[in-house]
A and B are shown apart, each in its own frame.
Chain A
């Protein structure tokens, strides 16, 4: 028993030396959605709280996200999230691509796939209730429509 504990502790210490390569944080993003587009305050606040940690360059890393093996998970999810959709680069997208992403956001919300459960379990303020979901869906739809007026 004691031996197992020692092995586990040793393992924990050793994996700390494996670099997690957490994606870099950049605060100044001139093409950011919230900088380039008029977004209602309540929507902007929801986007920041529920999406921006993975879908922007402004990730807020809590202390435990620097500890392996959590760091490995956070690193992977953040990297994949940004690759799929990065709100910090939003205004570089064409109108058509924006429409595609807005429609996908609507579908992800409908399915309850985003934000990911593993994220909201810890980040309770990122949880979206039915009212938040409706508000976000209405906003993505209005915004997409306004792009082609």
Chain B
């Protein structure tokens, strides 16, 4: 009986962990060596909904995967991280991301002006903290 309870407890914990890992994985919610850079929920939600499908390490979109993997961002060295973050801010601000092709097929993927601002402010804020510019 004790064994059954223990096994089901382990199962319960494992299942819970697995279900949250899908979102927790992105950025691990921290930036390397700078645990203070927590990804705020509103940023996380935009990434989850509009970026992560292509930009993750398991993506079938080779180009998207090669350029940026949100689930591997915590492994980047500082200079790479700054380059990627600046590119995120720039490409969403200029309307280059998500790609026009994607938006044509899935109009809901388009970033709203508010989402653009949320993402770029977040990216630029971290850059400013790390690089001071």
A103 at the interface (CB under 8 A from B): yes
CA distance A120 to B77 in the complex (A): 33
Contacts of A111 in B (CB 8 A): 63, 66
Mask: chain B, 100-133; 1 = CB below 8 Å from A; 0 = not? 0000000000000000000000000001001101
Say yes or no: is B47 at the interface (Cβ < 8 Å to chain A).
no
Question: Do the beta carbons of B79 and A148 come within 8 Å of each other?
Answer: yes
Q: Which A residues are in CB contact (< 8 Å) with B83?
A: 99-104, 144
**Which of A41-49, A64-72, A90-98, A124-132 is found at the contact surface with chain B?**
A90-98
Q: Which A residues are in CB contact (< 8 Å) with B127?
A: 96
Q: Verify if A6 is at the interface (C-beta below 8 Å from B).
A: no
Contact call A99/B86, Cβ cutoff below 8 A: yes
Partner of B90, one of A94, A100, A148: A100
A148 and B131 within 8 A (CB): yes
A110 touches B90 (CB 8 A): no
Residues of A within 8 A of B87 (CB): 100, 103-104
> Range of interface residues on chain B?
10 to 19
With A144-B80, A147-B79, A148-B79 in contact, is A96–B66 under 8 Å at CB? no
B67 interface hit (Cβ, 8 Å): yes
Q: How far does the Cβ of A114 sit from chain B's closest Cβ, in whole Å?
A: 14
- CB nearest to B84 among chain A residues: A103
Measured between beta carbons, the chain A residues less than 8 angstroms from B46 are none
Given A103-B87, A111-B63, 7 new contacts (CB under 8 A): A95-B131, A95-B133, A99-B80, A100-B86, A101-B83, A104-B87, A148-B79
A sample of 25 cross-chain residue pairs with beta-carbon separation below 8 angstroms, ordered by A number, consists of: A95-B131, A96-B82, A96-B86, A96-B131, A97-B86, A99-B79, A99-B80, A99-B83, A99-B86, A100-B82, A100-B83, A100-B87, A101-B83, A102-B79, A102-B83, A103-B80, A107-B66, A110-B66, A111-B63, A111-B66, A144-B79, A144-B80, A145-B79, A148-B78, A148-B130
